[in-house]
């Protein structure tokens, strides 16, 4: 009988400052660690196929933020990107992660770069996938959403309009070349979590705080210039929020970064995993060899 390697995935909770953080973990503990930070409106389940592909060779950890997925936050949790980073920093410290490559997708960009600036010695490498850090990487659609902030007339109502099933599905299928390659489980599960009590309020608070990320772009760019982490940039060029210019902009501060563009949308792993997973594996091997 032919031997088949099956990734064994553990599904765990850990308490971090009163937040019960859910996370998925796979792979040998002594292998290079990759911390997978998900985007909006998803959670760690967005990495399920990547974990299956790489989880026998590398140590993969994928948490859910407060307000997302299976993580349970107290009713009085105040949602902001700083608070998400606080919890993720506590998560990393609680698990005792001393060194890890950081996979930043979408919201994982502002959460992950906050984490990187707090724990610079821990980040062995950076994988950027449609996670923007430059103003030229903001489309008119993104700029319109960022203009929503506390005190702006109609801002909350405009945010709530994007928390619906058609928009959630559109974020997965938009920009793809083959919608049949996008499994419906991703967007249906995302919408399930969005529809839980209190979750839309959490997403409204985060959307109205998104401008704080743009204000920190110069700080993060300086961190990239000073620390020059080994970097792999993966970008779906059909992203309606973060256009291709945002990918190229990283090369100003990280001229040695590897850049790969794909004819797909925002959730690039959904359609292009067969092309992307080997690039990630090679990148992690290079980090291990250094």
Catalytically active residues are: 266
Indicate the SS3 state at residue 234. strand
Residues 249 and 259: their CA atoms lie apart, in Å, by 11
Q: How many CB atoms lie within 10 A of CB 2?
A: 3
For 206, residues 6+ apart whose C-beta sits below 8 A from its C-beta are 40, 67, 79, 80, 81, 84, 107
Judge contact between 252 and 231, C-beta under 8 A.
no
Q: Which of these, 242, 287, 237, lies nearest to 263 by C-alpha position?
A: 237
Residues 39 and 105: their CA atoms lie apart, in Å, by 5
Buried residues in 197-209 as b, exposed as e (16+ CB within 10 A): eebbebbbbbbbb
């Amino acid at each position: 009988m032919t031997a088949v390697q099956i990734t064994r995935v553990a599904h765990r909770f850990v308490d971090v400052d009163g937040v019960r953080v859910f996370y998925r973990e796979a792979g040998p503990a002594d292998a290079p660690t990759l911390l997978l930070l998900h985007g909006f409106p998803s959670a760690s389940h967005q990495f399920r196929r990547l974990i299956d592909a790489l989880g026998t060779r590398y140590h993969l950890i994928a948490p859910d933020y407060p307000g997302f997925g299976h993580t349970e936050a107290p009713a009085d949790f105040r949602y902001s990107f700083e608070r998400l980073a606080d919890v993720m920093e506590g998560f990393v410290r609680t698990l005792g992660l001393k060194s890890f490559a950081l996979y930043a997708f979408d919201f994982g960009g502002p959460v992950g770069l906050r984490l990187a600036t707090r724990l610079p010695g821990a980040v062995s490498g950076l994988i950027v996938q449609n996670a923007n850090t430059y103003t030229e990487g903001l489309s008119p659609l993104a700029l319109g959403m960022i203009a929503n902030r506390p005190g702006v007339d109609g801002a909350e109502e405009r945010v709530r309009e994007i928390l619906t099933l058609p928009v959630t599905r559109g974020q997965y299928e938009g920009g793809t070349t083959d919608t049949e390659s996008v499994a419906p489980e991703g967007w249906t599960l995302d919408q399930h979590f969005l529809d839980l009590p209190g979750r839309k309020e959490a997403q409204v608070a985060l959307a109205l705080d998104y401008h704080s990320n743009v204000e920190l772009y110069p700080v993060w760019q300086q961190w990239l210039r000073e620390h020059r982490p080994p970097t792999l940039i993966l970008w779906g060029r059909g992203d309606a929020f973060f256009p291709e210019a945002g990918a190229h902009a990283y090369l100003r501060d990280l001229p040695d970064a590897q850049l790969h563009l794909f004819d797909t949308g925002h959730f690039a792993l959904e359609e292009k995993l067969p092309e992307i997973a080997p690039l990630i594996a090679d990148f992690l091997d290079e980090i291990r060899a250094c």
